[in-house]
Structure 1
């Protein structure tokens, strides 16, 4: 009598169910990311705003903005490009934009080929708010600090929306797992029939 092994079958079916669920989740994420990118595209056409008081809030991304860097508390160099697309270093100043416990305002003050920190003492800045790995957002200045070139402007095309590809991968893995298990099961059943015959 042919018997399908219960435990391995349950394990494979459970794994396939998880993969399908992950694929469906990625499809939802693709829709969410598309809506987010549409919101960012609209933000580029809105009037300028003052630099946000809560820099951890990324709802202001891709808006034109202005701020006042009262004091520079730190400077860091990060990989980046200039407006011509050349690679080098973006220089991001950590500014105090108010007294006391006011949050840090991150300002991309320009680009250079070398990571050496420029001497910049702050002042008024206008530009576009872009994503920043440490501060979540940073004001990318329209005008580079002395000795630097302007950094590349924030571009929504640099924000990937590859969730659809991930969804198809999970569905492919689920299909492949079912096919491989079915072939292994068939081979096992053929071998059992041959042993019994």
Structure 2
């Protein structure tokens, strides 16, 4: 039992400050995720508008590719595929296979362009020596990680052109669209708010137990 005559115990200052700081940080992260949700929704809407446009744009010479150009129609001349980067993918019928991504030389200098020329049955590169390719500009297969972006070490990511017509012997690759961009920020925000509430409840219970 609690003795009424006993002096009231003060809240422990340092632990309380640490817990309060942690809770405020989690709430701030939840608010930030809600802001990111709105930004991502606007970005997806932009991508969908881009995809609906029929006019072609000039393929950007250097990365990064502006959002206003992603999912737009374009064309590029591949002088020579200097490297092949086979990756898993699907064709436009939903059948799985190996997506053949060519790292193409477009001139004497520059980073070149990535071109998805179609879906193969295995990892054997097609006998394609280059040429003009028409297709859709999409984000490239290698994007900087969140840690790299936060630390300022991210290298500008190259986009990729998904060919409208596959090269001989391959199937046409499925073309991504803006709706494929993940938008899980609401779930992340709810998680942070729940973490903050749980931390507050656990700390209050710990204090109550300490006073008994």
Whether contact under 8 Å (1:19, 1:174) holds in the other structure is yes
Three-state SS of the structure 1 residue aligned to 2:43 is helix
Structure 1 residue aligned with 2:48, among 41, 44, 53? 41
Offset, 1:144: 0.9
Q: Which runs of 5+ in 2 are unaligned?
A: 1-6, 143-156
Measure how far apart 1:54 and its partner are: 1.9
For 1:7, the equivalent position in structure 2 comes to 14
* Residue in structure 2 matched with residue 180 of structure 1 by the alignment: 202
Shift of 1:110: 0.3
1:55·1:104 contact (CA, 8 Å) conserved in 2? Answer: no
Q: Counterpart in 2 of 1:67?
A: 76
Deviation digits for residues 107-141 of structure 1 (CA, Å, limit 9, x no counterpart): 00001231222221111111111111335310000
CA distance in 1, matches of 2:71, 2:11: 57
Q: How many pairs align?
A: 189
Cα RMSD for the two superposed structures = 1.4
Q: Which position in structure 1 is the counterpart of 2:123?
A: 115
Q: Mean Cα displacement is larger for which, 82-91 or 12-21?
A: 82-91
Kindly indicate whether residue 193 of structure 2 is the aligned counterpart of residue 171 of structure 1.
Answer: yes
TM-score by length of 2: 0.84
Aligned ranges for residues 1-197 of structure 1 at < 5 Å?
1=7, 2-46=9-53, 47-59=55-67, 60-97=69-106, 99-134=107-142, 135-190=157-212
CA distance in 1, matches of 2:138, 2:57: 13
Alpha-carbon deviation of 1:16?
0.2
- Distance in 1, matches of 2:191 and 2:175, equals 33
* TM-score normalised by L of structure 1: 0.90
Q: Deviations over 1:118-172 (max 9, x none)?
A: 2211111111111113353100001111111011112222210111111111011
Gaps of 5+ in 1: 191-197
